[in-house]
Chains A and B, each alone.
Chain A
């Protein structure tokens, strides 16, 4: 496998080996709060949309944290929180087979049909 060594020191990308370092011991948190996916309805009549994720000990805290993190500027009127482990996602490696059935059905789109210009509003 080819190896890349990226040494360009961009803003926000200071290499770790340049660090001053210290002997500070960090105790691992034994009780890591679970991750939640947050969905926000921006106004009545629209869908809830995924906005990101956050950690919270329980559902109520997830909603309250979501309010503080994702709706500080009135971005939402409703919040859904789902613990991330319950999200089932399709596998991108199988995208070809999964979506294949729709690929050859252009007649499902209105643009497939050539109609004379006289036909209006259709």
Chain B
């Protein structure tokens, strides 16, 4: 019987029919989506922290307002994604608990520190640029609520990358110190950005169920190559360079070749040993705990209003 359901399910996927919350789906499909969407949501929320660090220090009122709007967008994106994940049967509280206990992961990139203003530019250009490639692909994912959330996110996200590039562009045309700051930020964010796409395809031994179910439509290496090709051209406009001596246009493949990624570093950061893992989780927990009384007060107020309405009606 289950096998029959699975066949019908796969036929729908093959015909590009989206899967909706109340449709039958294999357990592993539900779990994979739940894990992926909730991790994506956590990434948006934790991703607010490295940038939040610079809201009060942005160099002008205009930059402050832009950064504030961008961080507010990330909060919104987190909410779209939590809502999509909730349709798979896990409560918001459980997801938040899993994040705070360290059980659920978020993108490792947010465990790196933002030490200069140029980092805001590099994050917008490189980190958001990498995320956008992934997210544009995911707008065509097979799970309806995830796909719809991504369409909304992609619409809003394009300003993020452009504003980041513009920050670097201004620095790249500034004083010697500003130029150096720009190059330094690119040096520090380049490799972690490449790691965002995940391990090399060849390191995965199993059959690729996520592709078969069309949760994903491109492999890690394909997306990473797209990213390298795009950034290697854009960096020229900044008059800067990427910190990779092996980066070279390959006339045969029509792609850029690039150097080896330090996967040891990647796994160390995933396992909690990155520069800011502890700090990020502590900031999240503190925000949650400090907000406890606000959530309780709002509930109590809503309860009281309901009681008043009942008395009025009676």
Contacts and interface: CB of A to CB of B under 8 A. Distances in A.
Contact of B107 (A11, A51, A52, A69): A11
Interface in A33-71: 33, 35, 51-55, 57-58, 61, 68-69
Contacts of A89: 22
A14 interface: yes
Interface in A5-28: 5-16, 18-22, 24-26, 28
Given A6-B209, A69-B76, A28 B28 contact: no
Contacts of B298: 33, 57-58, 61
A2 B301 contact: no
A91 interface: yes
A10 B105 contact: no
B204 A9 contact: yes
B92 A6 contact: no
B-side interface mostly:
helix
A111 interface: no
A57 B20 CA distance: 27
Interface stretch (B49-57, B164-172, B192-200, B228-236): B192-200
Contacts of A12: 36, 39-40, 43, 107, 134
A57 B299 contact: yes
B295 A22 contact: no
Contact of A20 (B3, B102, B148): B102
Q: How large is the interface on B (under 10, 10 to 19, 20 to 34, 35 or more residues)?
A: 35 or more
Contact of A4 (B26, B39, B101, B102): B26
Nearest to A24: B101
Nearest to A29: B93
Nearest to A84: B86
A88 interface: no
A25 B100 CA distance: 8
Contacts of A35: 86
Interface string B197-208: 111000011101
Nearest to B196: A11
7 contacts: A8-B208, A11-B134, A12-B134, A13-B35, A19-B272, A20-B272, A61-B298
Interface of B: 2-3, 6, 20, 22-24, 26-28, 32, 35-36, 39-40, 43, 69, 72-73, 76, 79-80, 83, 86, 91-93, 96-98, 100-105, 107-108, 130, 134, 148-149, 152, 156, 196-199, 204-206, 208-210, 216, 220, 223, 267, 270-273, 277, 281, 285, 292, 295-296, 298-302, 305-306
